[in-house]
């Protein structure tokens, strides 16, 4: 039997201890802390920050039952279903695919949402970054076939993949903030294996790329000294989408222009600057609940409001607006952006699994890095995060473009709505 690498003290919320016991051998399963241990642990900054909004029927106490322990012994929020199966109440938001079905779950356990942000507080880098709760989104696939060099490549490997990015698409946060928590786990039959937790620097703080092309200066980044990273956050802006959505009677609205694509480019480096690993998944969202309006940069543009916007003979003409408008005193009105009837909720997503390059032949498999994946060394230091990288070199000299996971799943329903 394969000896499982335990990435961290794996953590079970209320509903998963029995599931693990049933589907895995005791030797392979990570130790599960008791509910009492989780309850007694000190709270992280991320724990307990969610409160129910209009239309949510679950209380904060019910939500806080979905908790886990981080490697630092603190309790963190973790994945939960949109509807609590015990009470039947709705949380109004979702976190993507249930990680318990992943072949990596026995090694990885429950993901502590906000752990990398917490370590940034301790790293002594002069910056602080904390994210909301609802933006944490998980996607995974078992037995995923990856062909380096694309469809024309000769080599094909089979991988289990789990990825979690904090990708909130309802607020103005990502207009200016480029640091977003990323958990990335992959294990392949060619010995490729990584288990990474970090803050991914996606492009530059204070700016993003328009869906239609070009750089949008959106304001001051927070933290202002956030490091720049590769890739970019591609987000729709008003100048890009209005002419595509508000159309004359001869055309149909193109709500597909609301597509967001966050293209990450991540490196894990040793203290001497050697690149140990590189991976660049792309995280894409369809029908987010926001766009950027440069004429009102402090206000979030709402796609659902375009359903009730009229400019001469131009207006939104698409089934996406069906049932979302009403007329009062001769004025056309839309439902609120957080109405559960709106399809603009960020619940349809996909992840492109691209390159997974390891340059760690003969090296240690356990590394401690700062929250940005830098300064890796074999022993922990303040604010460091434990990473696992297989001791191999797997650079085949060709890149990978795709494949896609999650594109056939939609996580809306069960009261899911923006903010999500």
| pLDDT tens digits for range 255-298 | 999 999 999 999 999 999 999 999 999 999 999 999 999 988 88
pLDDT band of 395, cuts 50, 70, 90: confident
Q: Chain-wide mean pLDDT for the chain?
A: 89
Structure confidence at residue 147 as a pLDDT band (50, 70, 90): confident
pLDDT tens-digit series, residues 340-384: 999 999 999 999 999 999 999 999 999 999 999 999 999 999 999
- Residue 35 in this model has a pLDDT that exceeds 60: yes
What pLDDT sits at residue 1? 30
Closest CA to 389 of 418, 359, 419, 352: 359
Q: What is the reported pLDDT for 141?
A: 98
Amino acid 288: pLDDT: 97
Average pLDDT over residues 56-66: 97
Q: Say if residue 248's pLDDT is above 90.
A: yes
DSSP code for 71: T
- Per cent of the chain over pLDDT 70 is 89
- d(CA 176, CA 170) in angstroms, rounded, equals 14
What band does 32 get if pLDDT is binned at 50, 70 and 90?
low
Most confident of the following: 25-34, 149-158, 250-259: 250-259
pLDDT score, position 19: 31
DSSP H/E element including 121: helix 115-122
pLDDT-derived band at 399 (thresholds 50, 70, 90) equals low
State the pairing for strand pair 232-235/207-210.
Answer: parallel
What is the C-alpha separation between 309 and 405, in angstroms, rounded? 35
Task: Give the least confident one: 19-28, 91-100, 144-153, 206-215.
Answer: 19-28
pLDDT of amino acid 29: 46
pLDDT surpassing 80 at residue 169: yes
Say what the pLDDT of residue 30 is: 53
Nearest-angstrom CA–CA distance, 306 and 321: 9
Listed by start position, the domains of the chain span 17-405
Tokens of 363: 């090296």
List b or e across 48-76, with b for residues whose CB sees 16 or more CB atoms inside 10 angstroms: bbbebeeebebeeebbebbbbbbbbebbb
Q: What is the pLDDT of residue 154?
A: 65
216 close to 209: Cβ distance less than 8 angstroms: yes
Structure tokens at 330: 């001769």
Q: Are 129 and 135 in contact (CB under 8 A)?
A: no
Q: What percentage of the chain reaches a pLDDT higher than 90?
A: 80
pLDDT score for 315: 95
pLDDT digits (tens, 9 = 90+) for 198-233: 999 999 999 999 998 899 999 999 899 999 999 999
Contact between 262 and 167 (Cβ < 8 Å):
yes
Find the mean pLDDT for residues 312-326. 94
CB-CB contact of 398 with 152 (8 Å): no
Q: What is the pTM of this model?
A: 0.91
Q: Which of 203-217, 244-258, 389-403 has the lowest mean pLDDT?
A: 389-403
pLDDT of residue 286: 95
Residue 150: band (very low, low, confident or very high) from pLDDT cuts 50, 70, 90? low
Residues 187/146, Cβ–Cβ less than 8 Å = no
pLDDT band at 331 (very low <50, low <70, confident <90, very high): confident
């Amino acid at each position: 039997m394969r000896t499982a690498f335990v990435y961290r003290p794996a953590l079970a919320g209320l509903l998963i201890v029995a599931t693990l016991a049933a589907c895995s051998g005791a030797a392979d399963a990570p130790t599960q802390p008791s509910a009492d241990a989780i309850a007694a642990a000190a709270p992280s900054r991320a724990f307990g920050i969610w409160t129910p909004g209009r239309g949510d029927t679950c209380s904060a106490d019910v939500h806080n039952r979905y908790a886990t322990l981080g490697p630092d012994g603190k309790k963190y929020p973790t994945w939960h279903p949109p509807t609590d199966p015990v009470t039947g109440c709705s949380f109004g938001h979702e976190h993507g695919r249930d990680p318990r079905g992943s072949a990596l779950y026995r090694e990885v356990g429950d993901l502590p949402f906000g752990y990398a942000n917490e370590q940034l507080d301790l790293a002594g880098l002069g910056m602080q970054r904390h994210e909301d709760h609802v933006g944490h989104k998980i996607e995974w696939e078992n037995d995923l076939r990856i062909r380096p060099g694309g469809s024309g490549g000769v080599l094909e490997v089979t991988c289990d993949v789990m990825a979690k990015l904090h990708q909130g698409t309802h607020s103005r946060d990502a207009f200016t903030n480029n640091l977003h928590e990323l958990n990335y786990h992959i294990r392949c039959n060619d010995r490729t294996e990584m288990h990474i937790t970090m803050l991914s620097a996606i492009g530059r703080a204070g700016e993003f790329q328009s869906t239609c092309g070009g750089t949008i200066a959106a304001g001051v980044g927070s933290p202002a000294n956030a490091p720049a990273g590769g890739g970019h956050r591609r987000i729709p802006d008003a100048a890009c989408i209005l002419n595509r959505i508000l159309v004359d009677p001869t055309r149909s609205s193109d709500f597909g222009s609301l597509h967001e694509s966050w293209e990450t480019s991540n490196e894990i480096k040793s203290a001497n600057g050697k690149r140990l690993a590189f991976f660049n998944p792309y995280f894409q969202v369809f029908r987010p609940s926001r766009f950027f309006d440069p004429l009102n940069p402090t206000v979030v543009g709402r796609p659902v409001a375009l359903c009730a916007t009229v400019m001469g003979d131009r207006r939104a003409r698409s089934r996406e607006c069906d049932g979302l408008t009403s007329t009062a005193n001769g004025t056309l009105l839309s439902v609120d952006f957080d109405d559960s009837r709106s399809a603009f909720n960020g619940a349809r997503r996909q992840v492109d699994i691209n390159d997974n390059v390891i340059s760690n032949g003969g090296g240690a498999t356990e590394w401690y890095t700062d929250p940005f994946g830098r300064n890796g060394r074999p022993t922990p230091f303040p604010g460091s995060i434990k990473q696992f990288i297989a001791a191999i070199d797997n650079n085949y000299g060709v890149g990978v473009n795709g494949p896609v996971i999650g594109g056939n799943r939609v996580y809306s329903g069960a009261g899911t709505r923006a903010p999500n």
